[in-house]
Amino acid sequence: MALWGEALAVPALASWYVYRFTALSASTGQILITIIMSTLATTALWLGAGRAWLWLVSSIAPSPHALFARFAPLMFVTGAVAFVAMTAVHYAIAVGDEGRAAAERALQAEVAAREAELRALRSQVNPHFLFNCLHSISALILKQPEAARRMCLELADFFRDSLRAGSLPRIPMEFEATLVRRYLDIERVRFGARLRAEISVAPDVERALVPPLLLQPLAENAVRHGIATLVDGGDIAITVTRQGNRVTVAVDNAFDPDGRRPGTGVGIANVRARLETSFGGDAHLHVDSEDTRFRVTVSLPYLEAPVA
């Protein structure tokens, strides 16, 4: 019986070779042909080896040649079945491994993509805003040192707040409004009387939870593509209201319809993408412009912050 076990090891090993050299990625026909050919070859070799062994044994002792002849077909079938079974086991293991690896890769890719998306979306605060602010501070520092210092402090507060906000999945509307007020106060140093802004948040919507930096990019858009295009500047009106279980955020600003401002829409596309990530189809962003007014309206579900 031990001999049988050892004999079976031959097809097992052989089938491993088949599996190694014919990857799963090969076509089904290719795999089948390889298996059939190798099954026949291996089993023939197996039988040949048995016959050789018998011949060797018969030289020292009389041996049952007739018995071998009778059992040869059975042995052939056994060998073939054993070989195919072993190959199947190898492939089954391979499929399992491959599936697990693929699932893991897919998961990793998804996590990486989501992280990149969040990183890209969160780094909302335009670096050029910072460069322009630093330039303003550098301008004020000798002639108006107090104003320069105030701007440094405001800038620090704004960045600290936006970093804190950005690390949270949702923030109360009140916090977002504070952030936008700080942002506009800083921009007022650059634009002076050209920038007039009003933010009104209805009392019943102050505790509404919104994705962080939802409003700030819209305000920044209104400044860059609106106020900055006008010689005498203009106004920005930001209103946040509640209608039952919905929140409406509207940013309305003056702009120069004849102005040329390539790049409009990046900030808005970003906000839209973040709304999609946060609320799926339950939030909408709408843009319209009329003569000299540009208006962005966002509608999102009302979610309330717990009382602190």
**Measured from the CB atom, is 260 or 291 closer to other proteins?**
260
Buried b (16+ CB within 10 A) or exposed e, 232-261: ebbebbbbbebeeeebbbbbbbbbbeeeee
Smallest distance, other proteins to C-beta of residue 296, A: 21
Which member of 230, 237, 250, 287 binds other proteins (CB under 8 A)? 230
With CB under 8 A as the contact rule, the residue among 80, 82, 177, 189 that binds other proteins is 189
Query: How far is Cα 83 from Cα 39, in angstroms, rounded to an integer?
Result: 6
CB 305 within 8 A of CB 172: yes
User: Whole-number minimum distance, CB 235 to other proteins, in Å?
Assistant: 15
Q: Choose, by CB under 8 A, the member of 105, 135, 149, 160 that binds other proteins.
A: 135
Cβ distance to other proteins smaller for residue 70 or 261: 261
Question: Using the rule CB under 8 A, is 140 a contact of other proteins?
Answer: yes
**Are 242 and 204 contacting, i.e. CB atoms less than 8 angstroms apart?**
yes
Nearest-approach distance from CB 138 to other proteins, in angstroms: 4
Radius of gyration in angstroms for the set of CA atoms belonging to the chain, rounded to a whole number: 37
Q: How far apart are CA 234 and CA 226, in angstroms?
A: 8
Element of type H or E holding 189: helix 173-191
Nearer to other proteins, 195 or 209 (CB): 195
Provide the β-strand partners of residue 239: 200, 250
Question: What is the Cα–Cα distance from 71 to 264, expressed in whole angstroms?
Answer: 85
Min separation Cβ 293 and other proteins, Å: 17
Q: Helix, strand, or coil here: 290?
A: strand
Q: How far is the CB of 271 from other proteins (least distance, A)?
A: 22
Instruction: Decide if residue 143 touches other proteins (CB under 8 A).
Output: yes
Contacts with other proteins, 191-210, as mask; x by CB under 8 A: xx------------------
Residues near other proteins (CB under 8 A): 128, 131-132, 134-140, 142-143, 189-192, 228-231, 256, 258-260
